[in-house]
Amino acid sequence: MRTDRTFTMLKPDSVEKGNIGPILEKISSAGFKIVAMKLTQMTTADAEAFYAIHSERPFFGELVSYMTRGPIVAAVLEKDNAVSDFRTLIGATNPAEAADGTIRKMFADSISENAVHGSDSDQNAEIESQFHFAGREIF
């Protein structure tokens, strides 16, 4: 299992607000190299599968509606210690608790509409990358 890659989505709120460029700038400035990227939109079935681990949580329906309401930017990022360093860069799930300078502190509105996704383990980074990209789309 490689440890130098993670998976991210710039969520629909980020795309709606015109924040693709500013967020990618933060990601690049932090030393992450983009090795796969696309603008895409998840179907309800896609979002239910992607977030299956949260299916029993009270916010699941709202999460699926949010994540399918418009396009997202999906990307695979490369950097040493990618998963952990990217979670640090994005900040806490709730932007009100996120550290200054983190992507969620700067660009997120709420714990539900929190601007970006970041994988939580090397194994999930691999699974989530393969969910969104064919092997020939990852460089």
Write the binding mask 86 to 125 for Mg ion: x where contact by CB under 5 A, - elsewhere: ----------------------------------x-----
Cβ atoms < 10 Å from Cβ of 46: 16
The one catalytic residue among 104, 117, 118, 133: 117
Write the binding mask 21 to 40 for ligand UDP: x where contact by CB under 6 A, - elsewhere: --------------------
Q: Classify each residue of 102-136 as buried b or exposed e, where b means 16 or more C-beta atoms within 10 Å of its C-beta.
A: bbbbbbbeeebbbbbbbbeebebbbebbeebbeee
Which residue lies nearer to ligand UDP by CB, 43 or 65?
Answer: 65
> Distances in Å between the alpha carbon of 128 and those of 26, 54, 87, 106?
22, 15, 15, 25
Tell me which of Mg ion, ligand UDP, none is bound by residue 38, counting a contact when its beta carbon lies within the kind-specific cut-off of 5 to 8 angstroms.
Answer: none
H or E stretch at 38: strand 33-40
Does 93 interact with ligand UDP (rule: CB under 6 A)? yes
Q: Which residues bind Mg ion (CB under 5 A)?
A: 120
Q: Which residues bind ligand UDP (CB under 6 A)?
A: 54, 59, 63, 93, 111-112, 114, 117, 120
